[in-house]
Amino acid sequence: MPLMIDSWKQHQDDQAKFGQSFASIETISIAKPYEISEKTHLMENVRDIPVLDFFTELAGGLAVDYADDYREQLKLFRSKEIDLIFCDLINTACHEAAHTLNIPFIITSSGMSGEGTTAPYINNSPISMDNPTTEDESLSERLYNTWVKPIHFLIKARQFLYQQHENLKSLGIKPVFPGELRYKNCIKMFNSAWGFEFGRPLGPLIELVGPIVPEKAAAKLSTDLDQFLSIHKKVAYVAFGQIVRATKADITLILTGLIESYEAKELDGIIWATRGIDKRLFPETIASRSNITYQVHSFFDNGQAGDIKFVTWAAQLAILSHPSTKVFVTHGGTGSIQEAYFSGVRLVVFPFFVDQIPNAVTVKKFGTGVRLDYRSTQEEANVLIRDVVVDDFGHFQKNVNKFRALTQIKSQHGPKRGADIAEEVLFTHENGLLNHRMDAKLRMSWIKAHNLDMHAVVTGILITVLSSVLYLAIGLAKWITKSIRPRTKVKSS
């Protein structure tokens, strides 16, 4: 039975190679290779872009080549006779293609979002998720995030929404608004777990199958890095993924803080994965508080010389899993956080945008590391980095160890759980619907589902009883007053 797995690609075809290690999966690249960052200005000073402007521009970036993506996926699904599709949460072309062909599909994502995952105290909307919950928000912040921001966003995005509406119609698609209505009856499968998400009630179509960490990747350590980690016993690893653009000020702030810990003998080695960062953004030199000047560019691909090593590419999980790696300085991407926990490594999160910010909040909340803000002073950065590196009372490592157990346990069973869900959909759906999973309230009126009729009856009875008691009490009070009133004689003239 054919199975197609489709995920939103960051539009880098070099990612397709990772499918080749699975003999039973055919990897096909169908989308035009393009970078959202090249079609928009999102990555330029991304932290200074107001969140509403960011998501307005992101929506436009995701719409690039939408029609071609939709047609290519239609063509592929038909030609391969696909029975079930996995669509990334934001790959709307996949949603529409599956819906057009009436093929059941499962929504996938790294973090929970959408219907069935919400609660009044959870900030699930992308435009207000800087704080994952309302726990630390004031009344004014909650009012702004709940009412003002959504209205403001709709006003800003109205032109895009109108254009997308027309584009869908031109493709023969009947638009729905909001777009998540297209998959409201689909299973939403998230590569996450409690602890990565804050607790709340979930709907019957929500499945947490993660975090799934490819453990075999931990064995792929290059010879030179293996030797480096064997020689050094207290290593900090730095990596910011492939999308974010660190500035020279960011790099200087972090590298200086790490060098201060290195000089204090709290670290004996530093590995920095520089892929995606222009070498010119690294400062020529850094001077420590002890007046030692470091020639930063000498750290690039310097073989085994020295204790600070910059590499173009690194097997991240393999480095994190090595016992010499003690601290991970990361942008806070979900995959990076999961790999750090899987390996039991303390975290310094330096977030840039979107999910990285709530991930940093979660790390701080659960005590597995700290959040380093790009506006921090050098002294503040030095102190935060040292706190995690030294971990005086073992507080950070104790919490990390809990998450290591959680992540490793969940990762063992996640793939099997995901496969079970796929087979459940394949064998039990009726025209794409899983009737056995549908919330029972959908078969009732809104009034009955919320017991409003029952509450109304009880309220009516209570009002009647209280009114009767009040009426009797007033009558009794009048009778008693009349009974005890002294009789007075009227003297006739």
Q: The domain 216-407 is classified under which CATH number: 1.10.357.10, 3.40.50.150, 3.40.50.300, 3.40.50.2000?
A: 3.40.50.2000
The rounded mean pLDDT for the chain is 88
Neighbours of 357 (CB within 10 A): 20
pLDDT digits (tens, 9 = 90+) for 126-162: 888 888 999 999 999 999 999 999 998 889 888 888 8
Q: Which CATH number is correct for 4-208, 3.30.70, 3.40.50, 2.60.40, 3.20.20?
A: 3.40.50
Q: What is the pLDDT of residue 13?
A: 58
DSSP 377-421: -HHHHHHHHHHHHH-TTSHHHHHHHHHHHHHHHHHHHHHHHHHHH
Q: Which pLDDT value is given to residue 189?
A: 97
Angle between helix axes 149-170 and 51-62 (nearest 10 degrees) is: 10
Helices (H), 185-330: 223-231, 248-263, 316-321
For residue 9, the model assigns a pLDDT of 43
Cα radius of gyration (the chain): 30
**d(Cα 112, Cα 303) in Å, to the nearest integer?**
42
pLDDT score of 486: 65
**Are the C-beta atoms of 348 and 387 separated by less than 8 Å?**
no
SS (H, E, C) 346-377: EEEECCCCCCHHHHHHHHHHCCCEEECCCCCC
Rounded CA-CA distance 99/34 in Å is 25
The amino acid present at 151, given as its one-letter code, is I
Per-residue model confidence (pLDDT) at position 42: 58
Q: Give residue 489's pLDDT.
A: 54
In whole angstroms, what is the distance from residue 6 CA to residue 28 CA? 10
Give me the pLDDT at residue 22, please: 67
Neighbours of 433 (CB within 10 A): 13
**Which amino acid type is present at position 488?**
T
- The partner residues of 122 in beta bridges, in order of sequence, read 133
Q: What is the pLDDT of residue 45?
A: 66
- Written as one letter, the residue type at 480 is I
Q: At a CB cut-off of 8 Å and minimum separation 6, what does 204 contact?
A: 116, 437, 438, 439
Please list the ranges in the chain whose pLDDT falls under 70. Answer: 1-22, 31-45, 217, 301-305, 486-493
